[in-house]
Structure 1
Amino acid sequence: MADSIIPISEMEGITPEYQRLMDKSNSVDFKWIVDNNIFVQVGCDLEGVPVFLLNAANFPPTTQIEPLIIYILKTLEPIVTCNRYTLIYSHALLKQESTPDKSWLNTFYQMLPRNYKKNLKNLYILHPSGWLKILLLAMSPFLSEKFWSKVEYLDYIQEIPGVLERSNIISKLPQSVKDYDKGLLETPEVTEQVVSGMDTLGKEYLSSFASSFNFFSATNPSSWTNPK
């Protein structure tokens, strides 16, 4: 992670909360984040755009989330001033005590300077739950059409695009997540169970959004081999 502070003049839309976090960054110990591979660069895509992996399975409780947020912002800050980046968010096995609520996510998104938003090339969400998709839909009024064009749901590890360094990404995923993916491959009827569970949420409300945001994968994983 770069140690230099990016001049405010090079950032667009600095918010007081963002400035507070940056001011605090030099006094925070990030060792536990590095040791647990919570946020790590996993190479570049074919265009040379750096790719980062965020492992939710290793998230701390929400009461201790601030150092992680600072680390992510501090790592990306030298990049977003003039270059693009891609983010892979691995959602599987996120613990209940580590799950932020909708209001926190809204606040975090609004806090970000414009550089982080406009220079995001792609956001891949690996193993998204039905609840996460619904949460993102609920945030739609705060998210632009341009943002949605950058989002892609990956239901299985095998769906990681070939333009990325796939083997490097897989090597940085927790073993528990790879085991979870293997279980999904062996029980594809899980998708059916998720759909049935959504009855209680109101099918009519969800149907108007599902097709627009690739809500359900049409992928048939039966021909795939398990990841190493």
Structure 2
Amino acid sequence: MGTAEATLRMDSMEVKDEWQDEDFPRPLPEDGDGLTDTRTNPPTTLNVGETMAQRKRRTLVAPDMNLSLDRSEGSVLSDDFLETPDDLDINVDDIETPDETDSLEFITNGNELEWEDDTPVATAKRLPGESEEEERDSAGKLWRTVLIGDQEQRIDMQVIRPYLRVVTHGGYYGEGLNAIIVFSACYLPDSNCEDYAYIMENLFLYVVSSLELLVAEDYMIIYLNGATPRRRMPGISWLKRCYQMIDRKLRKNLKCLVIVHPTWFIRTVIAISRPFISVKFLDKIRYVQTLEELSEIIPMEHVQIPECVLQYDDDKIRTQKERLDLEKQATPIPAKERPKSMIADVSRDM
């Protein structure tokens, strides 16, 4: 019984061992007591070539103990090594428990999520001919592959290069990404030019693909009709195909089609196009007579107006002013009525 009790007391003792850098224990030295630290001052430079054998070891020496089984002072059976019940008492009230504030700090500290603003910035986009890669075939032609709807189309970029200014991005209006698409009819090719049908075919694909690229939400089309000779006016069949090839979502998101400087010819074309154009689309058409009137509808900072259209607008305003002046001069001033003769009235009474 005494041997078993001694064994239990030996297990509860804290024995100080020597630990090496390799984490393997070594026998305790027989002489010396206390903590012996034979380390030198820490080096000021890093000695990369230092070996494990050259490292100094720290030695922990256990104090002297009396291993006899009697209850003499220092013995393993003495009362000094016995834990009293008071030592084992734990006051639960003294234990610090985290409150709600600590819990919130634990949850939020170091675990805060950083959210980025994914709202797209209203910046002007590039056209397909400005950013995408082009392929050159063996004949030297430049081709671009675009996706219109669900179909893949190839555009001959070399043949339409002089007419890329037909479609431009005019910035945004209102709140959000409401794009302004400017269509300048004065940049269309002449109908009497060589390969006119082939040019208009590729230009049609370019215009439709540009709309799908530039439009993110609602949008408005500004059709600059001024300074466009009749030989450059697009045909009804070309306009009809453009309307039918445009995705249904794009037709729905179109809020307004503003026709600037309308002529009797463009009005006639729209009237003839009524059979294949929906009534809702026709209700979105609006006519504007001058650029000043257009500036009251949309911001003009980023709208690229061709020089010929600006000149046409100035000439039209000057012509209207001259016409009004002529009308004012040609209108006759009504003559004043002469007073009635008093003699005639007197003779009639007699």
Q: Report the TM-score, using the length of structure 2 for normalisation.
A: 0.44
Alignment gaps of 5+ in structure 2: 1-126, 133-144, 325-350
Match of 2:173 in 1: 45
Cα distance change on mapping 1:65 and 1:190 into 2, 3 Å? farther
Aligned equivalent of 2:162: 32
1:186 to 318, 340, 348: 318
The answer to whether the aligner puts 1:76 opposite 2:211 as a matched pair is: yes
Aligned to 1:156: 290
Residue deviations 1:186-214 (CA, integer Å, cap 9, x gap): 1228999xxxxxxxxxxxxxxxxxxxxxx
What SS class does the counterpart of residue 89 from structure 1 fall into?
Answer: strand
1:123 corresponds to which of 243, 253, 257: 257
Secondary structure, in 3 states, of the residue corresponding to 1:188? helix
Structure 1 vs Structure 2 CA RMSD:
2.8
Distance 1:190 1:99 in 2: 28
Aligned residue runs from structure 1 range 53-132, under 5 A = 53-62=182-191, 63=196, 64-79=199-214, 83-132=217-266
SS in 2 for 1:166: coil
Q: CA deviation at 1:149?
A: 2.3
Q: Letter of the aligned partner of 2:170 in structure 1?
A: V
Find the counterpart in structure 2 of residue 23 from structure 1.
153
User: Cα distance 1:108–1:163, how it changes in 2: closer, same or farther (>3 A)?
Assistant: closer
SS of residue in 1 equivalent to 2:265: helix
Within 2, Cα distance between the matches of 1:120 and 1:141?
A: 19
Identity of aligned residues (%): 25
Distance 1:148 1:93 in 2: 24
Structure (1 or 2) with the larger CA radius of gyration? 2
Contact 1:46 1:163 in 2 (8 A): no
- Residue 301 of structure 2 aligns to a residue whose secondary structure is helix
Q: Which residue of 1 is the match for residue 66 of structure 2?
A: none
More helix by share: 1
Q: How many corresponding residue pairs?
A: 175
| Runs of at least 4 residues off by over 6 Å | 189-192
Bigger CA drift: 54-63 or 182-191? Answer: 182-191
Is the CA contact 2:288–2:294 (under 8 Å) kept in the aligned structure 1?
A: yes
- Counterpart AA for 1:24: R
Paired residue type of 1:184: K
C-alpha deviation, 1:130, in angstroms? 1.1
Residue 33 of structure 1 deviates from its aligned partner by 3.4
Q: CA deviation at 1:152?
A: 0.8
1:183-222 residue pairs with structure 2 within 5 A? 183-188=315-320
User: d(CA) in 1 for partners of 2:293 and 2:282?
Assistant: 19
Whichever residue aligns with residue 190 of structure 2, its letter is: P
2: CA distance, partners of 1:49 / 1:148: 20
Equivalent residue for 1:177?
Answer: 309
Q: Distance in 2 between matches of 1:61 and 1:28?
A: 18
Deviation at 1:110, TM superposition (A): 2.6
- Which letter does structure 2 place at the counterpart of 1:173? I
